[in-house]
Structure 1
Amino acid sequence: MADTNQPAASITRIPLSILDLAPVVLGATPADSLKNTLDLAQHAEQWGYHRYWLAEHHNMPGIASSATSIVIGHVAGGTKKIRVGSGGIMLPNHAPLIIAEQFGTLESLYPGRIDMGLGRAPGSDQLTARALRRGPESDGQHFPQQLEELRGYLNPGPGASPGRVRAVPGEGLNIPIWLLGSSGFSAQLAGQLGLPFAFASHFAPDYLVAALELYRSSFRPSEALKEPYVMIGVNVFAADTEEEARRLATSHEQQFLKLIRGQTGLLNPPVDNMDELWSPHEKAIVRKQLSITAAGTKETVRERLDYLLSETQADELIVTSQIYDHGARLRSYELLAEAAGER
């Protein structure tokens, strides 16, 4: 039974953040996408969003953020106060020393504003993963050891060897590390290490509740975090009418439909009738996988997000909005900020 002494869960009481997948839309280029990314980040800062994260994906024509650290620097350099980070860097794709140096450089350039979100998936298909991960230790199974190595470069501790390899910039800098996941592996590891945890519920909703329970039950306080801190991903499509919001969401549904068919491609314009594009079976799969979605007017979106917060007790929401038209995407985030009140 819920504690009636606790305030009702609401988006007015928690930070709202943005996960930008840097969509490359049909008829545009990655250069257009990166220009739009900075424009959205600048607006998000004005509207009071807390952080702005970018994701590492490879061999995907519809996503422009493959060189994630560079795009983070682009966004941080074009904004003033919003936190900027990775949602996430796929650590097994990289030598931990390289990531320590890259994020050490970002933190040195933009102190107090950089987040390091880490995942263990390849961020692409298996063929691309083999092109990225050239050693047997890069299959994701060694993620805990790679994470330990990375943390050692940033905070070597008093007993560290004078002759060790050092991350410069990086060593001694306070760069918040988040673990990202869509299953129980990173949830449990984040809890055991006392790190904040972000769950990819925007495309993997089935394990959401179980993963959060596992994280919280395994949490051990650390220097980084005294109590569990959870952020969950949500797809949001807000518009001035219910019909327009649902129509905007069809671009994302088309993109996910391609994925389950084993295809990639650019982000397509919205359509009036998805039933002309998918089979009933495909519709059921897409709707299930995208069930953590809020689409509608700002009132509808607020009601849906408040419900999700009441069910998960998340400490923060990170929103992604794969919307074809950049103006409509800006409007969606503006409406969400309005729904959350004066932020």
Structure 2
Amino acid sequence: MIGLWDTTGNEVVKALAAERRSAGGVASGMALTLIVVVDEKRVREAEAAATIAAAAHPCRLLVVVRSDINGERNRLDAEIVVGGRLGPCEAVVMRMSGRLALHAESVVMPLLVPDVPVVTWWHSEPPDEIATDFLGVVADRRITDTAQAADPVEALHRRATDYAPGDTDLAWTRITPWRTLVAGAFDTTAAEVTEATITAPPTDPTAALMSGWLRARLGISPTLRETTEFPRMRSVELRCANGDELELVREGGMATFRRTGQNERQLPLVRRPLGDELAEELRRLDADQIYSQSLEAMAGESGLDDRPAQRVHVWRDPIAAKRAEAQVGAHAGPGGSAG
């Protein structure tokens, strides 16, 4: 491991090259570059998840920690690890402060592995518009996590409005086991589904996407039965045209499966570690059309797959925006009106 304090981007590139030479063939044959955007308080959690994902997908891991963007002094601290505590990958953890934090791409771009896909993962509240973050614009795949937003379901609607092919969200990844069990229930029948009910908290983004998936695949409008007794989606019930009823109910790490005329069964429905969820999304580096169709159905949008995959960077200075808001407030005066 190499630690560089109050350094420059050029020094980071040189140190990474030196560490690669000393590590020999430990980190060869990289499949992608994974950029992680994370808050300081979640760095260790993000590193643990990325380590699991890197075991399945050898990559160059670039962790970007932005802090104190209002600071007067630009500073870059970097930690370089090749084939060490972060698994079989080349990792650079970069802590940026001051105006440099708003231009992280100036440090990140020279570190991208040539001729391999780039994936950006925000382990924080997703940006309202990905185009305002150059680290998202440069990526072939973009992974958000609406569960970390103040209003997760509203954040999903923002993802639909802002969608471009190549986007995905970990709320979608978390319903893969649910979708697998529901689809498997129809291996032995061709009965048409006419109604569906999902029991979940009203703020659960996984339930919203499950509703969109059922709507997109079956052409029905699921009913959400709201509950506050459980922190996440509790059950999915389906009613068929032939009178059969199917129900999946989460019970800890298992799901109870009930179907008309059949014995009750227990099926695995384990909540996976964050690293396993991330690894699943890294398996595909093209656009996920099933996700986009489900998101489209959930949000009432249309034409998501027809949008351009490549975004154009939109520069917005958050510091200038705050100053403008402060000036408006000052001119408005204590009465709250600008006259």
TM more than 0.5: no
Q: Which of the two has greater strand per residue?
A: 2
TM-score, normalised to structure 1, is 0.32
Q: Which of the two has greater helix per residue?
A: 1
User: Comparing both chains, which one has the higher relative contact order based on Cα–Cα distances under 8 Å and sequence gaps of 6 or more?
Assistant: 1
Q: Pick the structure with greater CA Rg.
A: 2
